[in-house]
Amino acid sequence: MNKRKLIVLIFSVLIFGCNEAKVVAESNSQILALLERSKTLQLRGEKVEQSMLKNKDSLVILNGEPDVKLNQNSKGFVNIEELSDEFILDMKYATSDNFLKEKVYSCEKCYVREEVAEALIKANNDLLAQGYRIKFFDCYRPYSVQKKMWKIFPNPGYVADPKGGSIHNRGAAVDITLVRSAGGHVDMGTDFDYFGKEAHHAYTKLPKTVLGHRKLLRETMEKHGFKTIRTEWWHYNFKTNIKFKISDFKWECE
């Protein structure tokens, strides 16, 4: 090989190597850009989720003013047990078996608005026909109890701020689960008041039977006018909750 051919060969190798390096560099640059974009989207998603958790179960506050015009009597409310004996009560806040670790109800009662009660009975009848029934964890919650809960655990991700109140305070939200109509536990994937992604409606890394139970409860409740919140499989708001005023009457204990 003469000297001229050798020089040409060397230059060819150098040019090819530079081009190859340029392609690799551009490829690496694109990968880094995608990774950065992915991190940005992930952080944005986490912020959105935190914001949603803070607003969980909160009332719509008109014109930025808290709606705390309290209804001090039980007019418009009914005790669900006086209308039907087909429900099960396991009112967690009448015990210390809750995330507050403290009893905040004097006794277990399930009061809701008359319209809400009618819808609950229809939903329960549908479930009874399929071998299940509704068990209540919480129903109407007096506003003063909301303030007490906030004092014990002032975290808006888990307890609605009394400044805005809770739909529970309006008698239009219930925390529920399924039990078998003949008696027996139904696996819903997590305990009540479990604050983690496993309790979210969108979480699917669960046994098919659990997903089936959640779907049955959700579809039945939605059929009768209730809406879910994203983070809790047990919580249901009645569709016309905003028309009800915040209340603070206390039920009588025997």
Lowest mean pLDDT among 40-44, 149-153, 175-179: 40-44
Check pLDDT > 60 for residue 253: yes
Check pLDDT > 50 for residue 24: no
Q: If you average pLDDT over residues 71-83, what whole number do you get?
A: 89
Confidence of residue 10 (pLDDT cuts 50, 70, 90): low
Check pLDDT > 90 for residue 132: yes
Neighbours of 227 (CB within 10 A): 15
Structure tokens at 201: 């409606």
Helix, strand, coil shares of the chain as percentages rounded to 5?
Answer: 45, 15, 40
Spatial CA neighbour of 220 closest among 127, 129, 117: 127
Cα(115)–Cα(124) distance, integer angstroms = 14
Question: Which is more confidently placed, 62 or 191?
Answer: 191
Question: For every residue of 5-41, which 3-state class applies, written as one string?
Answer: HHHHHHHHHHHHHHHHHHHHHHHHHHHHHHHHHHHHH
Check pLDDT > 70 for residue 31: no
The answer to whether 110 touches 77, Cβ cutoff 8 Å, is no
Structure tokens at 152: 């014990």
Q: If you average pLDDT over residues 23-29, what whole number do you get?
A: 54
Question: Which is more confidently placed, 228 or 72?
Answer: 228
Cα(202)–Cα(214) distance, integer angstroms = 11
Neighbours of 9 (CB within 10 A): 11
Q: What is the DSSP string of 161-207?
A: -TTT-BGGGGT-EEEEEEEETTS-B---SS-TT--SGGGSTT---S-
Collapsing DSSP states into helix, strand and coil, what is residue 99?
Answer: coil
Question: Which is more confidently placed, 210 or 7?
Answer: 210
Q: Using one digit for the tens of pLDDT, what is the confidence trace for 166-197?
A: 999 999 999 999 999 988 999 999 999 998 99
Check pLDDT > 70 for residue 18: no
Task: Give the position of tokens 């014990």.
Answer: 152
pLDDT the model gives residue 140: 97
